[in-house]
Homo-oligomer: A and B are copies of this chain.
Amino acid sequence: MKTFSSGALSVNRKDPAGGRPDTTGGATLIDVAQAARVSLATASRVFSSPHLVRDSTAQRVREAARRLSFRPNLLGSKLRAQQTRMIGVMVPTLENAVFAECWHGIEEAALAGGYSLMLVTSGYDPARECERVEYLLRHRVDGMVLTVADAAHSTVLDQLDGEGVPYVLAYNQAGPRSRRHSVSVDNRRSACAGVEALIAAGHRRIVVVSGAFVASDRARQRFAGYQDAMRAHGLRPAAPVCLPSHTASNAEQIRALVRANDAPTAFFCTNDLLAIGVISDLRRLGLSVPRDISVLGYDGIALGSVVEPPLATVVQPNSEIGASAVGRLLAWLHDGGRASAAPPRVTLLPHALRVNGTVAAPPSM
């Protein structure tokens, strides 16, 4: 029987004497099994459940694998095992360093956990969000880590919920009543704390500058935090100033603002990139930051510590948010369907305040 099974094994292989180099990418498990004179099953076990195999046998198989430069074809195992050990990641863009830093944490955590990654970007566009998620789904990712434009009104999340796809939000902060899983800082409270630091420094006229509100629920939550802080100190919140782009110069709008009679003494920008742009705009208007006007950012990207003066900001642990989101997802995937009741669905990581550099007392004091 042994001779027969040996023969049966080789029946699938193309003729090795076929002339041109094997373009199909090399030895398969079958080849390894043959070379080690064990069955396909045993060879497989050596790599996936070594404890089921006698040590000496395993040695032989590994040796054969090495000799043949065997490289497991993950496609085969993924298809057969009905789980890909892949996680899909969708963020709005990598060009905002927040997400680039987050990716770092995601990659570390995922690869350490034996999972592969598939990245797509949505450009803050809900239509593209759907498209890209469908793409991830076709690749049969086991779960996803995503940052969507607006979690509360997201067709793509509703769809995912409907299909029962495991996912964890990053940066988007699920409401306490939500059934969704999320990892973020407490956007509202941390923003409130940031603005309170501004108030503590003596500022009374503080204005929020934001990107397109509709594109980011975080921006809205941070604005709410600003309102909280202002009201708690008996100050009147001002309407937010929404700038269309992070990178283009928004000098016009800024100019109108600082030229007004009751010009603000401080800006709270809902993200660091925006803050850096605003600071540049202010300089172009001949104003000095923080001497003439203070600027507070939000995100804590590394770049903020590089510029001069260093950007005052509400610091999120970006890399950790990514790693933690992956961790939550893996826990979910591994508990086998029981929707992980143990840890709370909403994870809030601690923020930090960095209030120096671009924030000082208002000029009148």
Interface of A toward B, CB cutoff 8 Å: 21, 23-25, 71-76, 78-79, 82, 84, 93-95, 97, 100-101, 103-104, 107, 111, 116-121, 134-135, 137-140, 164, 247, 249, 273, 276-277, 279-281, 283-284, 302-303, 305-308, 337
How far apart are the CA atoms of A21 and B164 in the complex, in Å?
10
6 smallest CB-CB distances across A and B, nearest first, come from: A280-B308, A94-B100, A283-B308, A75-B79, A277-B306, A247-B302
Q: Residue of B at shortest CB range from A280? A: B308
A335 vs chain B, min Cβ distance (A): 14
Cβ of B119 and Cβ of A119 under 8 Å apart? yes
Cβ of B100 and Cβ of A95 under 8 Å apart? yes
Cβ of B138 and Cβ of A72 under 8 Å apart? yes
Cβ of A94 and Cβ of B103 under 8 Å apart? yes
Cβ of A279 and Cβ of B308 under 8 Å apart? yes
How far apart are the CA atoms of A284 and B308 in the complex, in Å?
7
- Residue of B21, B94, B303 touching A276 (CB-CB under 8 A): B303
A26 vs chain B, min Cβ distance (A): 8
Cβ of B116 and Cβ of A119 under 8 Å apart? no
> What are 20 pairs between A and B in contact, CB < 8 Å?
A21-B164, A71-B134, A71-B138, A73-B79, A73-B140, A74-B138, A74-B140, A75-B78, A75-B139, A75-B140, A95-B100, A95-B101, A97-B100, A103-B121, A104-B121, A117-B118, A247-B303, A247-B305, A276-B306, A307-B307
Copies in the complex: 2
Known A-B contacts A302-B247, A308-B279; the reply to A120 vs B100 at CB < 8 A is: no
Cβ of A137 and Cβ of B71 under 8 Å apart? yes
How far apart are the CA atoms of A140 and B26 in the complex, in Å?
11
A249 contacts across to B, CB distance below 8 A: 306
A302 contacts across to B, CB distance below 8 A: 95, 247
A306 contacts across to B, CB distance below 8 A: 247, 249, 273, 276-277, 280
How far apart are the CA atoms of A249 and B247 in the complex, in Å?
24
Q: Residue of B at shortest CB range from A120? A: B107
A23 contacts across to B, CB distance below 8 A: 337
A305 vs chain B, min Cβ distance (A): 7
A244 vs chain B, min Cβ distance (A): 14
How far apart are the CA atoms of A356 and B324 in the complex, in Å?
43
A135 vs chain B, min Cβ distance (A): 7
Cβ of B118 and Cβ of A118 under 8 Å apart? yes
A302 vs chain B, min Cβ distance (A): 5
Q: Residue of B at shortest CB range from A79? A: B75
- Residue of B79, B107, B118 touching A121 (CB-CB under 8 A): B107
A266 vs chain B, min Cβ distance (A): 19
How far apart are the CA atoms of A134 and B94 in the complex, in Å?
25
How far apart are the CA atoms of A267 and B72 in the complex, in Å?
50
Known: A25-B140, A75-B78, A75-B140. 6 other contacts (CB 8 A): A21-B164, A24-B82, A72-B138, A75-B79, A93-B100, A94-B100
Cβ of A84 and Cβ of B75 under 8 Å apart? yes
How far apart are the CA atoms of A123 and B116 in the complex, in Å?
18
A284 contacts across to B, CB distance below 8 A: 308
How far apart are the CA atoms of A358 and B358 in the complex, in Å?
21
A104 contacts across to B, CB distance below 8 A: 93-95, 121
Q: Residue of B at shortest CB range from A100? A: B94
A75 contacts across to B, CB distance below 8 A: 75, 78-79, 84, 139-140
Known A-B contacts A121-B104, A302-B95; the reply to A139 vs B247 at CB < 8 A is: no
